[in-house]
Amino acid sequence: MKFAHDTWLIFRRQTQLLLRNPVWIFVGVFQPVMYLLLFAPLLKPALNAPTQAAAYKIFVPGLLVLLAIFGGLFQGFGLIAELRAGIIERSRVTPVSRLALLLGRSLRDVVSLLVQAVIITLLALLFDLRIFIGYLLLAYLMLALIALMTSAVSYGVALKVKSEDALAPLMNTVAQPVLLLSGILLPLTFAPGWLQGVAKWNPFSWAVDGVRALFAGDLSNAKVWQGLGIIAVLAVAGVVWAARQFARSVR
């Protein structure tokens, strides 16, 4: 099928170029590991958790969702560089599927996020975190959908604004409230009522609650399915919108 084939071509190219850049790999792996090793030990007393493993069950899901959001949102910068180099123009004169131009890139971002997630999970296992593999895979599905959505949106916005100078403040303005109003780093259990009320409108808050429930082994928690549903719908919407930006005139 042409569309799948086109997506694969773009995905493979983008992945090759990524692997060619050792700095990126170092940062992508090193940074989350630092969080895990240096930040997490502060958590047990701060969260009043009975054990280190219990603290990790709360912190690791937040860290993973955080990586998924930010990893995705900042992919637009790479696209602007490609735009400037004429790569997008060159692709758009071929009959290649416009959706594939987007999806090949976004899937690369999803895969690299999942690699980070696996590394973090493995490390956390060393610190006595335990999670059922089926639940872990569901959590990864949620992360993949988040990364798909944020990277697609980032690419779409990059095609619209066409300059790093405009993209950077825009992404920061979006990311900051999303981060603060979601309970990603610390759960909102102890937050004042109004903050919890605001967080209800933040899809990432649902996502992180869902992932925490999965890490806690609580599949019956409604947040799991609600979170997955909300993020899936948003991811599809983001992909459709961004693919239309690839089809429209860009320069």
Partner 1 sequence: MIETRGLRKSFRSRAGKETKTVDAVRGVNLEVAEGEIFGFLGPNGAGKTTTLRMLATLIEPDGGEATIAGADLRKDPAGVRRRIGYVPQGGSTWDDSTAREELVLQARLYGIGKADAERRATRALDAFQLTEYADRKCKTYSGGQRRRVEIALGIIHEPKIVFLDEPTTGLDPQSRAHMWDEIRRLRAEGMTVFITTHYLDEADALCDRIAIMDNGEVVAEGTPADLKREISGDVVLVGLDLSATPQAAELLDTEEYVNKLETADGGGLRLFVDDGATAIPQILRRLDHAGLDLRSIELHRPSLDDVFLTKTGRSLRES
Give me the residues that bind partner 1 (CB under 8 A), please: 2, 6, 9, 13, 16-17, 20-21, 82, 84-87, 89-96, 249, 251
- Give the Cα separation of 65 and 228 in Å (integer): 13
The tokens of 114 are what?
């999942």
- Give the Cα separation of 123 and 109 in Å (integer): 21
**Alpha-carbon dihedral angle through residues 185, 188, 191, 197, given to the nearest 10 degrees:** 120
- Give the Cα separation of 66 and 189 in Å (integer): 18
Residue among 145, 148, 162, 146 nearest 245 (CA): 162
Output the smallest distance, CB 211 to partner 1, in A.
Answer: 35
Nearer to partner 1, 2 or 130 (CB): 2
Nearer to partner 1, 87 or 191 (CB): 87
Output the smallest distance, CB 147 to partner 1, in A.
Answer: 23
Q: What would the DSSP string read from start to end of 80-97?
A: HHHHHHTHHHHHHTS---
Nearer to partner 1, 82 or 209 (CB): 82
Nearer to partner 1, 93 or 126 (CB): 93
DSSP annotation of 190 reads: G
Output the smallest distance, CB 6 to partner 1, in A.
Answer: 7
DSSP annotation of 186 reads: S
Nearer to partner 1, 6 or 109 (CB): 6
* Residue written as token pair 């090759």: 16
Q: Residues 155, 142, 175, CA angle at the centre, nearest 5°?
A: 45
Nearer to partner 1, 25 or 87 (CB): 87
The tokens of 24 are what?
């990126």
Nearer to partner 1, 90 or 130 (CB): 90
User: Are 210 and 100 within 8 A, CB to CB?
Assistant: no
Output the smallest distance, CB 247 to partner 1, in A.
Answer: 11
Output the smallest distance, CB 165 to partner 1, in A.
Answer: 15
Output the smallest distance, CB 16 to partner 1, in A.
Answer: 8
Output the smallest distance, CB 240 to partner 1, in A.
Answer: 20
- Give the Cα separation of 244 and 93 in Å (integer): 16
